[in-house]
């Protein structure tokens, strides 16, 4: 099932993407769930799947305002340096434990929206990533059971302001409107193995990153085990799992995103997240 967050007729809603458009699950469920995060927390995904199975599409995709698939996560946790190819291109040593940083909520951008190159820098880079959506409150999750706490998967673009990142990862990753998330969440039952997904990033239609998630240094289960050791994970929390090589800073000369560019992150079995680049 593909679940989406959107706004229509002034109201924030959740829906299921089906052939022909979107099933308005908020309407079909009598407005019981105010957000996808709330539905996940209530363990209502099976109920939503049953509703979506028997309901026709009521909205076309171009009739709604897309929102980040989880507009209101409690936490956005990100893993850096998680593909050996990327570690090599940026001249770093292979990590022995996951390298973690956080993003703020105001960095999130919806599918079809605009990511903003800040006034402070033109060193604006792309990083296509697989993102995990946590399905239940959990702590000290073993690697063996880690996938059982996943609600679903989505695409993420970890746009980075590289000159600021050199002196502060937190600064370089937290300029407003630099973290597109979506277009939808594919529920975990659809993805048999998150380490068998193909990831492609395109800049103006040209492939700039291409790899498979099997090349992660720390796989999805290991990441969840590590992060749940550090803190409570909550329903709707987002975990970005790192990017492969091909980023702009690793090229000679560097390849930065600029206003007018179009960026896509496509992951097999999930879909394609697309955004436009604008200046602040």
N residues, the chain: 280
Report the C-alpha gap between 190 and 192 in whole angstroms.
Answer: 6
Q: How many CB atoms lie within 10 A of CB 251?
A: 14
Q: Is 27 left (phi over 0), alpha (psi -120 to 50) or beta?
A: alpha
Nearby residues of 191 by Cβ (< 8 Å), 6 or more positions away:
152, 153, 197, 269, 270
Percent of residues in the chain assigned helix, strand, coil, to nearest 5: 25, 35, 40
Report whether 57 contacts 2 (CB < 8 A). no
85 exposed, middle or buried (CB, 10 Å; 0-12, 13-18, 19+)?
middle
- Partner residues linked to 67 by β-bridges: none
Enter the DSSP assignment of 139: S
Largest interatomic CA distance in the chain: 55
Give the residue from 256, 275, 253, 254 showing the smallest Cα distance to 264: 275
In tens digits, the chain (280 residues) has pLDDT values of 999 999 999 999 999 999 899 999 999 888 888 799 999 999 999 999 999 988 889 999 999 999 999 999 999 999 999 999 898 888 888 899 999 999 999 999 999 999 999 999 999 999 999 999 999 999 999 999 999 999 999 999 999 999 999 999 999 999 999 999 999 999 999 999 999 999 999 999 999 999 999 999 999 999 999 999 999 999 999 999 999 999 999 999 999 999 999 999 999 999 999 999 999 9
Domains of the chain, first to last? 2-66 (no CATH), 76-279 (3.90.850.10)
């Amino acid at each position: 099932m593909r679940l989406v967050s959107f706004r229509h007729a002034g109201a924030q809603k959740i829906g299921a993407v089906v052939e022909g458009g979107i099933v308005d699950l908020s309407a079909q469920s009598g407005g019981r769930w105010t957000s996808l995060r709330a539905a996940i927390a209530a363990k209502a995904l099976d109920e939503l799947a049953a509703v979506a199975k028997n309901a026709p599409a009521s909205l076309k995709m171009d009739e709604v305002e897309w929102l980040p698939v989880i507009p209101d996560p409690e936490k956005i946790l990100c893993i850096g340096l998680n593909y050996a190819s990327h570690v090599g291109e940026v001249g770093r040593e292979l990590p022995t434990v996951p390298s973690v940083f956080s993003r703020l909520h105001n960095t999130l951008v919806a599918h079809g929206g605009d990511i903003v190159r800040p006034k402070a820098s033109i060193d604006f880079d792309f990083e296509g990533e697989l993102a995990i959506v946590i399905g239940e409150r959990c702590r000290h999750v073993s690697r063996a059971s880690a996938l059982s706490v996943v609600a679903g998967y989505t695409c993420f673009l970890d746009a980075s302001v590289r000159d600021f990142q050199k002196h502060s990862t937190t600064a370089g990753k937290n300029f407003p409107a630099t973290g597109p998330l979506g277009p939808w969440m594919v529920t975990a039952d659809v993805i048999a193995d998150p380490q068998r997904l193909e990831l492609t990033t395109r800049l103006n239609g040209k492939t700039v990153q291409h790899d498979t998630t099997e090349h992660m240094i720390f796989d999805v289960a290991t990441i969840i085990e590590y992060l749940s050791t550090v803190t409570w994970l909550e329903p709707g929390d987002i975990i970005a799992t790192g990017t492969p090589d091909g980023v702009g800073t690793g090229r000679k000369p560097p390849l930065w995103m600029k206003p007018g560019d179009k960026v896509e992150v496509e992951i097999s079995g999930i879909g394609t997240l697309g955004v436009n680049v604008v200046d602040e």
